[in-house]
């Protein structure tokens, strides 16, 4: 379970997240929607400690992410996979090596074990025929699926998606969304920051509308997307169509 309590985050004088409360239960898919600059992506980075927070607390399975001296962030991050908008492939490694690296070096698995896991995950996302290819030779959609496999290879309990399709050409969005949909159907706990409203409605158990660094409205997609209670949510959804 991810518990986010009254989290505040600012970059210098610029407050980005201004008191967010959000709980994500095991097996749940929660989508975060909202305009740019509403603090959605920043919050995601705070969940696995890639960004610091100034106030509040974030707990993952009871482990305090911020400000607790006993927390081993490197260990915690192994169970929180994250996929970024810019897929961030390691360009000097093959697709297979990209996915094998963390299981080998972080988990300390033997080469053949790590390779078996990587091959399985790459086949899972439909890249079984690209193992020896370098990322530079892949399309954006393929690189993003590789990034998903790379995160999955650590067998995470949670997957965070930070606008995973925003940087893709329109015709490549579908293949990545299909992969994400597949994960949700397998019961993966997921937090998605997304601009794909229709996709969010299809896969989410709950949708949170962020506005001005706070959760402005949250509920099942039938409520937040189909029948928003807040006028700002309504305006936002109208503007995205």
Please give the residue ranges that form the binding site for other proteins (CB under 8 A). 45, 48, 50, 74-75, 77-78, 80-82, 84, 86, 88, 90-92, 101-102, 105-106, 134, 136, 147, 150-151, 154
Selection from 61, 133, 46 nearest residue 93 by Cα: 133
For other proteins, the closer of residues 38 and 48 by Cβ is: 48
Nearer to other proteins, 5 or 88 (CB): 88
Residues 6+ apart with CB under 8 A from 84: 147, 162, 164
Asked if 54 and 10 count as a contact pair (C-beta separation under 8 A), the reply is: yes
The smaller minimum CB distance to other proteins, of residues 134 and 234, is found at 134
**Residue 86 beta carbon to other proteins: minimum distance, rounded to whole angstroms:** 5
CA 207 – CA 148 distance, rounded (Å): 22
Check if the beta carbon of residue 146 is closer than 8 Å to that of residue 89: yes
Closest separation in Å from C-beta 89 to other proteins: 8
- Strand order in 14-24's β-sheet? 14-24, 2-11, 55-60, 63-64
Report in angstroms how near the CB of residue 225 gets to other proteins at its nearest. 29
Q: Is 181 left (phi over 0), alpha (psi -120 to 50) or beta?
A: alpha
Closer residue to other proteins in complex, CB, 105/198: 105
Beta strand segments in the chain, E = 2-11, 14-24, 29-34, 55-60, 63-64, 80-83, 158-162, 189-193, 206-211, 214-219
Give me the least distance between CB of 15 and other proteins, in Å please: 22
Least distance (Å) between residue 151 CB and other proteins: 7
| Residue 41, token pair as written in the block | 């992506």
CB of 137 to other proteins, least distance (A): 8
Is 104 or 216 the residue whose CB approaches other proteins more closely?
Answer: 104
**Considering beta carbons, is residue 47 or 215 the nearer one to other proteins?**
47
Q: How far apart are CA 29 and CA 190, in angstroms?
A: 5
The distance of closest approach from Cβ of residue 176 to other proteins in the complex, given in angstroms and rounded to an integer, is 16
Contacts of 168 (CB under 8 A, 6+ apart): 140, 141, 144, 176
| Choice between 121 and 233, CB closer to other proteins | 121
């Amino acid at each position: 379970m991810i518990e986010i309590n009254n989290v505040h985050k600012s970059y210098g004088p610029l407050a980005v997240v201004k008191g967010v409360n959000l709980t994500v239960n095991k097996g749940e898919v929660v989508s975060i929607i909202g305009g740019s600059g509403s603090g959605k992506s920043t919050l995601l980075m705070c969940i696995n400690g890639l960004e610091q927070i100034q106030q509040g607390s974030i707990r993952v399975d009871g482990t305090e992410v911020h400000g607790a001296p006993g927390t081993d962030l490197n260990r915690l991050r192994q169970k929180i996979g994250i996929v970024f908008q810019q897929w961030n492939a390691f360009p000097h490694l093959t697709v297979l090596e990209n996915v094998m690296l963390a299981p080998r070096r972080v988990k300390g698995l033997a080469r053949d074990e790590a390779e078996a896991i990587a091959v399985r995950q790459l086949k899972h996302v439909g890249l079984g025929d690209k193992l020896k290819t370098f990322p530079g030779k892949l399309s954006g959609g393929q690189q993003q699926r590789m990034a998903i496999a790379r995160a999955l290879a650590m067998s995470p309990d949670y997957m965070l998606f930070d606008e995973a399709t925003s940087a893709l050409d329109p015709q490549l969005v579908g293949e990545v969304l299909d992969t994400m949909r597949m994960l949700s159907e397998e019961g993966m706990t997921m937090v998605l920051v997304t601009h794909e409203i229709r996709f969010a409605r299809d896969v989410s158990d709950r949708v949170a509308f962020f506005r001005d660094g706070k959760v402005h409205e949250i509920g099942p997609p039938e409520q937040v997307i189909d029948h928003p209670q807040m006028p700002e949510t309504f305006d936002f959804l109208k503007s995205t169509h």
